[in-house]
Amino acid sequence: MLLTQRPPEAATTVAHDRIYRTIRTRIMHGQMLPGEALTLRGIAKEFDVSMTPAREALRRLVSEGALSLSSSGRVSTPELTNDRIEELAAIRALLEPELSARALPRAHLALIDRMDVINSTVAEAVAHRDPVAYIRANLEFHRTLYLRAQAPAMLALAETVWLQLGPTMRALYGRLRRTDPPRHHKLIIAALKAGDEPGLRLAVRADVTQGLRLLAG
């Protein structure tokens, strides 16, 4: 049996998508620090691809704000100013309480139990002082709830903000030297159990902005 060979264009697209998704995840989960540089040559070597898919992946990430492109052509993770942090915190404060409120009518007990389990993972990451595991589990906690909102465009906007903040969240974790899990997560879970929309909005808003405002302060 003969296997159909994938056209060169399709192979390039697959490679580009693989590079894009891998680097995007690294940035969002804080595996890269603010100002960390990436090069086409380094990416092409790591992923064993030509320059073309590497270039396309970086271009896509720059367009999403996940990477910065300087006038000299240097590509790096963004080093956010205090004003930019405040702006992104304000966007989270608008978007995420709305997502949580839309999710509330569909927040069944199994979902709440799942969020409880994820919150235990967050606590374990804090106890082990593992910033990447902490950021990953924290985002999973929020995404698990927001998926129930059935508002894909709004969730995509929230994820774009998370992507831009990934390296900064890593820096924030190091500065706060956190030893306790986020206290607002328990308030979020309690509000979901009680069907308390105002309480849910308040807890989510506090959770997604408090740490960022400490960093900007």
User: Rounded to two decimals, what is the model's pTM?
Assistant: 0.88
Reading the chain (217 residues) residue by residue, the pLDDT tens digits are 444 445 555 566 788 899 999 999 999 999 999 999 999 999 999 999 999 999 999 999 999 999 999 888 899 998 999 899 999 999 999 999 999 999 999 999 999 999 999 999 999 998 888 989 999 999 999 999 999 999 999 999 999 999 999 999 888 876 666 667 778 999 999 999 999 999 999 999 999 988 676 665 5
pLDDT at 177: 63
In the 3-class helix/strand/coil scheme, how is 89-158 assigned residue by residue?
A: HHHHHHHHHHHHHHHHHHCCHHHHHHHHHHHHHHHHHHHCCCHHHHHHHHHHHHHHHHHHHCCHHHHHHH
Strands laid side by side in the 68-69 sheet: 37-38, 75-76, 68-69
The H-or-E segment that residue 25 falls in is helix 8-28
pLDDT at 137: 95
As beta bridge partners, residue 76 has 37, 68
Two tokens at 36? Answer: 């960390």
Query: Quick check: 58 and 44 in contact, CB under 8 A?
Result: no
Domains and CATH numbers, the chain: 8-76 (1.10.10.10), 82-216 (1.20.120.530)
Q: Is 76 helix (H, G, I), strand (E, B) or coil?
A: strand
pLDDT at 13: 75
